[in-house]
Amino acid sequence: MGLGTSSLSTFAYDGRNRLLSTTDPLGKIERYTYDGNDNLLTRLTPKNETISFAYDAVNQLLSKTLPGSQITQYNYDLVGNLTTVTDPDSVLAMTYDLANRLTTVKTDGSPNQPAVTLAYSYDLTGNRLSLTDPVQVASYRYDALNRLQSLTQPTTPATRLPNLLATWPGDGSAADPVGGQSGTVQLGTTFGPGVRQQAFVFDGVDDYVSIPDSAVLDSLSTNATLDAWIKPEIPLGAEAWLFARRDPFVSEGFSVALLQDGRIQLTVRTTTSPTVSGSTFRSTASVITFDQWQHVAAAVDTVAGTAQIWVNGQAVSLTAVFGPATLSGTLFNVNQQYLGRRQDPNTAGGGGHFKGEIDEVRLYGRTLTLAEVQSRAQTQPVATYVYDALSRRASLTLPNGIQTTYSYNPASQVTSILHQLTATGSQINKADYVYNPVGNRTSLTDRRGLQSFGYDQLDRLTSASHPLLLDPQAFAYDAVGNRTMGGSTHNAGNQLTADANFAYQYDDNGNLIRKTLLATGNYTQYTYDAENRLTKVEEFAAGNPTAITTSSYRYDGLGRRIEKVANGQTTRYIYDGEDILLEYNGSNVLQARYTHGPGIDEPLSRTPMAPGLGSGQTAVLASTPDGLRGPVVDDGIKVNGQVSVGFVFVSGMPAPAIGQPIDSTGLEQPIAPIDVTAAAATGTLAVDLIDTGGIGGNAPLYLVTRDQATNQVLESRLLFPARATFASTTPLGTPLVVASATVPTTTPVADGTLYYHQDGLGTVTELTDINGSVAKAYAYDAYGNLLESPGTVEQPYTYTGREYDSESGLYFYRARYYDAGMGRFLQKDPVGLRGGINIYRYASNNPAKWRDPVGLWDFGNTFDAISNVFSVAGDGEYYGAAIGGGIGAIAGSPAGPPGVVGGAVFGSVVGGLIGFGFDGRCAGVLNCNEVVPLAGDYPKYGSCPIQDIPNGANHPSYTLSDTDYRNGPLYPWLE
């Protein structure tokens, strides 16, 4: 039995009230040292492992060093935003806008980390407007109360619209894969994440795309439509030209521009021989939203005499500000076309540079109908939300037709969650709750039947029934919350040492290191790093020193798990904040994309990716001039060690100009791109550039995936961006590989997306397919033991929305791991006694009411208070502080200032990055429901609001002293 209140932890301080050591009830000592600014310098763990920290002149954490010289380094911008995190397994790079909001996160790519860029945009109040990843762009819409209304993504029309003359998708080049009207990027034009794959990025100063004249473009006569996706910034000049088709002498023939005030403009020049006339039409109001993706289309019909503009599929009211309002004649034949500016910079009157991004530009030789424009502007709702008058979530609707409705009692406790296919009224599942007067759930009724819960006077769960269990479960506890049934015994440190089935052993840091099955002697062995993060799980048979199975885990510099190896299979993760966004295999081939809702641990959907090309897709290796050296000039390219051909040009591209480097063989001849469809279908391309010496070099080489029927570019990946040269000692004629890349190819599985359904704890109960049919189901007991899981789908999210590791039987709760069979965590609580007197227990032994998403302290019901946390306000403040401060505390002590210092240093930079954003001064965490200022920031900020999150109350700001910060709870309402 545990020793209860006789268990004693002691803390030693120096004259400056800095914690020097902690001694736990088992006599294990952890020691700390500081610099003159009270920054934690070293932490000597009970296992005699030293973790050291270094800081800059303004006390920002610069590095953390673990035993074995494992160094994590941190860099910041001038205002303190974290810009890079580099550790032995990963590199993260971040950028921010002028409001210090995260705008990009980039992983550099390594054997243990895929190369990925994520981009974010926000509205003026800080709500997230978009998330761009390698698969798609997700857009977020809010109501006047900043509540998330919908999460959407653009869709691609099923068929190409008729009379499409040209398209410039911006997927890494200015190529036109449909009409052959390829342009040339000029003066530093770059590419970034777009609505679909990549987009043109213009700086608004001097870059643009020039498009040569052609008979195809000159075929425009009486009708034309231009449409594109744009994400503009406010123009630096009076106008920003999206597309300009013009002549240097007679001005615009058919051009579209944006104005600084958000209006949009269409300029047309027509001729009725011998008369030439021009008209300029402008929207009567501001219709463009800057820094946000939107679809625009402009059309003219000189027979009908009309000009039209649509924004996001809605017609815009126009007025003629120059020339006749009614058009006539035919479109004037011009000889210049540009994306991103008005005309050539060397031409008098040139200017009007576009600042921002342009994607999926299309030019038609006719006027599109409203329905056709809307098909191009269409977005697919991934999730739609409705709220009641108290801002509680009332419904969630998913694309497969399943709607979830929520009901509440007067205390705003969720009483019913119903998942139903609206087309047929078929019930997928439900969760009906009944509460006792103190807010404990006494019953849950779902499609399987009634579950009943009983409690003691301390609100700890004492009984739980389930339709899949023959007998109700019974639980009993000692004074400090250790479970005592089944012969369980505990030591003075509240460590479970034995129960009816297992014996348990711990290391000096308090981590569970061995779990032995009493009946056979077989055991599981757990290994941790110096920060007490689980790094390996091994299964052994009694008497055999060789592990039967081994699983291993890696983490990034922010404490997120980025890799696990289980049963010989490697899985790697890219995160959006604290949620898994992309899942890769050991070859860094994308396997799945996840979409998450506004609540913490609220997965909405999982889209699997298939290796190789999709049906009806082709792949080529191609190049375009890079503006300096011309196209690729190499002696050969090998694909998967088999295909070997010469110089790779896009068909019709010119040979390198005089003065540009050419290959020593002098055999440059434009040929068609290399068709690698068969090789790409295998799932991986190993591409090698071969050269025989001399003055060889290479311009950008792309892997381009196209739709076989429409020839539309679906994806463009830059393989080799830089020139490769030989040393002068290399013998001419020696074939050498000058550059090599392995390129995984994947495509979304058609109709393969699965949608999640959760109960009031966020526990995943079902996944349904595109038709609303159940593809996977789960049932659990009260503490999360899996009772059944029919269906063959493999995915991580289960009990309370956390990741279940089937290889170990453990749940990953971010800061530590949870064993549902034990009903407790394997490691000590990183925030120590601030999370409760028992540093191993789970959810205060009330798992029907509480959950612990970050492995630090209890958190309330999933849907009772959630409205929107994709913002800098609301629940995001608590989540960010909890995650950032908690992970920061891992760098400090189990209790006391080092944990707070860790939370302060790390929480301010990490919480905002991996949480949803929060007030940066409220990062250190004192008690399980408190959000308090950073240590040392009191003179700067004075006070900070204290929030009683579970009870939904805000309390007056309080100016904390240094003693308050270090010595425990301030207010009686805090648990």
* Exposed e or buried b per residue across 2-19, where buried means at least 16 C-beta atoms within 10 angstroms of its C-beta: bbeeebebeeeeeeeebb
Residue-level pLDDT at 2:
42
3-state secondary structure of 215: helix
pLDDT value at residue 467: 98
First to last CA, the chain: 25
How far, CA to CA in Å, does 567 sit from each of 571, 805, 812? Answer: 11, 11, 17
Q: Which amino acid is at 567?
A: N
DSSP for residue 672 = P
Position 406 scores a pLDDT of: 97
Residue 713, sorted as left (phi over 0), alpha (psi -120 to 50) or beta, turns out to be beta
DSSP state of 886: H
Averages of pLDDT over each 10 residues, the chain, 975 residues: 61 95 95 96 97 96 93 95 92 93 87 85 87 82 90 68 86 78 83 77 88 84 92 88 77 86 92 80 94 91 93 92 90 84 54 88 92 81 92 95 96 96 95 97 98 98 98 97 95 97 98 98 98 98 97 94 95 95 89 92 92 72 51 59 54 32 36 69 71 52 70 64 48 58 69 94 96 97 97 95 97 97 97 88 97 87 43 33 38 37 39 37 26 29 33 38 29 24
Question: What's residue 677's pLDDT?
Answer: 79
Question: Strand (E) positions, 749-800?
Answer: 754-758, 764-768, 774-777, 779-780, 786-788
Q: Coil, helix or strand for 521?
A: coil
Question: What is the CB neighbour count within 10 angstroms for residue 1?
Answer: 11
Confidence (pTM): 0.73
Give the model's pLDDT for residue 379.
74
What pLDDT sits at residue 276?
A: 77
* Per-residue pLDDT at 481: 96
Separation in Å, CA 82 to CA 512, 557, 561, 920: 34, 12, 19, 12
**pLDDT score, position 812:** 98
Q: What is the DSSP letter of 437?
A: T
Token couple for 120 = 């974010």
By residue count, the chain amounts to 975
Q: Judging by DSSP bridges, how do beta strands 803-805 and 810-812 pair with one another?
A: antiparallel
Distance of alpha carbon 974 from alpha carbon 948, whole angstroms: 7
Displacement of CA 693 from its chain's centroid (Å): 44
DSSP lists the bridge partners of residue 77 as: none
pLDDT for res 644: 58
The residues, ordered by sequence, that sit 6+ positions from 15 with a Cβ below 8 Å of its Cβ are: none
Domains of the chain (ranges, CATH numbers): 164-377 (2.60.120.200), 617-744 (no CATH), 868-975 (no CATH)
Q: Give the per-residue pLDDT at 110.
A: 74
Of 690, 687, 689, 626, residue with least CA distance to 653: 626
Give the largest CA-CA distance in the chain. 103
| Contact yes or no for 255/243 (Cβ under 8 A) | yes
> How far, in Å, CA of 573 to CA of 552, rounded?
14
Please state, in angstroms and rounded to a whole number, the distance separating the CA atoms of residues 189 and 338.
13
Q: What is the pLDDT of residue 643?
A: 59
User: DSSP of 24-78, one letter per residue?
Assistant: -TT--EEEEEE-TT--EEEEE-TTS-EEEEEE-TT--EEEEEETTTEEEEEEE-T
pLDDT for residue 614:
65
